[in-house]
Amino acid sequence: MNFLKQSYPSLLVLLGEAVIGILMIVNPDVFIKITMIVLGIALIIAGAVALIRYFFLDSRGAAPISQLLLGALAAVLGVLCLIFQNGAAKTVAVIYALVLIANAIYKVYAFFATRKATGEASFFQLVSGAVALACGIVIIVNPFGVLETLWRFAGIALLAEAVIDAIAAVHVYKLLTD
């Protein structure tokens, strides 16, 4: 019984991992919306705190203007996340896709630059660039479909982690009780 009392926080995390993992696998669309709502609320709170600190807590007027701007920006982004939940998720996916494409272009460039400089280059670098480019294009063409697939994989990983944690907890319990 003492083991269960000591393991209570870990068991709650394990249960949370399992529930979130199942939700991510079964209905990633709902999970994306919940994530955007939580992100929106967090940004609004952070923005409100920064604005309150700027206007009310600094009586000497020494607060930097950046605190005012960042507070307002965070609050506006939070409201946008709440209003445009799917749009915010798509925007994040498109930004990620653009980073992938830029990385792909660099990999292809590095392949040819290395080949020109040394006469040899790793074919895997070229393949890696092509795969990154293809993934970036797929994400831009269908960002929400890719997000759903990504959330499903993340859900599977969380569920697997919960199972591994449960097995480890049982193993530790057996070691402590023997």
pLDDT tens-digit map of 29-76 = 787 788 888 889 999 999 999 888 888 766 565 667 778 888 899 999
Q: What is the pLDDT of residues 144-167, one digit of tens each?
A: 677 777 778 878 887 888 888 788
Residue 115 in domain: yes
Structural domain count, the chain: 1
Assigned domain for 105 exists? yes
Residue 1 located in a structural domain: no
Predicted local distance difference test score (pLDDT) of residue 44: 94
Query: Domain limits at 172?
Result: 6-177
Q: Does some domain include residue 109?
A: yes
Mean pLDDT taken over the chain: 80
Residue 87 forms part of a structural domain: yes
DSSP codes of every residue in 106-161: HHHHHHHHHHHHHS---HHHHHHHHHHHHHHHHHHHSHHHHHHHHHHHHHHHHHHH
